[in-house]
Amino acid sequence: MKADIESVKTFFLALQGDICAALEALDGTARFSLERLPQPGGGFGQPRVLQEGPAIEKAAVQFTHSVGDALPPAASERNPQLAGAPFQAAAISVIVHPRNPYAPTTHMNLRFFRVDADPPAWHFGGGFDLTPCYGFIEDCVHWHRTAAEAAGAHYARMKQACDAYFHLGHRGESRGIGGLFFDDWRTGGFAASLDLVRAIGTAFLPAYQPIFERRHSLAYGEAEREWQLYRRGRYAEFNLAIDRGTRYGLQSGRRIESVLASLPPLVRWSYNHAPASGTPEADLLSFYLQPKDWLGLFGDA
């Protein structure tokens, strides 16, 4: 099977529709916007954003199909024979910032890149990860069990890559409890890779939805809300200062509202803030954000 971008686009667009519908149902009130924006060179972007819902403070589910005449040299440093060749890319990205501090933020990205050189080159990349402000072992196990079922034999490698990528070196902290991360993926050829990407994309809602449903109506007070706003600062730090996709988007002149749609709706930075030991807030840092084998340690719990 050749590396057929149409089948990738079809899957990503269907997944975008499914995820938006499910998130609207979870929120109960707010609706996703729908724009279709022509891309320079061909293709189109279809960003969909939901804001200020009662349960979901902000969610962005974006599809993009880009077409280029000639791959820039900077994008082909490892494969100089590809420079100047036509290319196409398709991607879906998802971010959910719930309002309730007990409901975790989540992120997914799936992307496909093809260069029409001789021979053609292609790869998949992406993954999904979870960023709680308050930890629950049950949620971490469910998240990783669903990820492991989707990734199969590749779970251990993708989980390790996720822990390594979503790390704030300047804080010495993990962004969240991880999940799956992969890049330059061609293992087993196009059909097997697309099957794997389908399995991961399809697992996103079964992974996230039960956690959201368990947490989004828990009672909370001002202290929990403040902790959530403070922790969202870490998210903004990661996306603006570290994340490769965001940094590439800032530098490449892509539509900025799409690039930065992932940023949290409301964020607080406080100087020298540290939670008291023995609190759930301290447990987040000392236990939940320490990468660990969730399934091996707690998988039978």
Q: Which is nearer to its own copies, 145 or 268 (CB)?
A: 268
Q: What is the DSSP string of 52-63?
A: S-SSEEEEEEEE
Name beta bridge partners: 109. Answer: 93, 127
Nearest approach in angstroms of CB 295 to its own copies is 32
Cβ distance 113 to 68 under 8 Å?
no
Is the CB of 13 or the CB of 236 nearer to its own copies?
236
Minimum CB separation from its own copies for residue 138, in Å? 31
CA nearest 8: which of 193, 153, 154? 193
Site residues (vs its own copies, CB under 8 A): 33, 49, 51, 58, 60, 169-171, 229, 233, 236-237, 240-241, 246-247, 249-251, 253, 256-257, 259-261, 263-272
Look up 97 and say whether it is catalytic: no
Least separation, in Å, of the C-beta of 2 and its own copies?
36
Q: Which is nearer to its own copies, 141 or 236 (CB)?
A: 236
Q: Of residues 65, 97, 107, 142, which has the active-site annotation?
A: 107
C-beta of residue 114 within 8 angstroms of C-beta of residue 5: yes
CA distance 17 to 2: 26
Mapped onto helix, strand or coil, the DSSP state of residue 7 is helix
Indicate the residue among 223 and 256 with the shorter CB distance to its own copies: 256
Kind plus residue range of the DSSP H or E element containing 109 = strand 105-115
Residues forming a β-bridge with 185: 124
User: Rounded to the nearest whole angstrom, what is the least distance from the CB of residue 256 to its own copies in the complex?
Assistant: 5
Residues with Cβ within 8 Å of 297's Cβ and at least 6 positions away in sequence, in order, are: none
**Residues annotated catalytic, as ranges:** 107
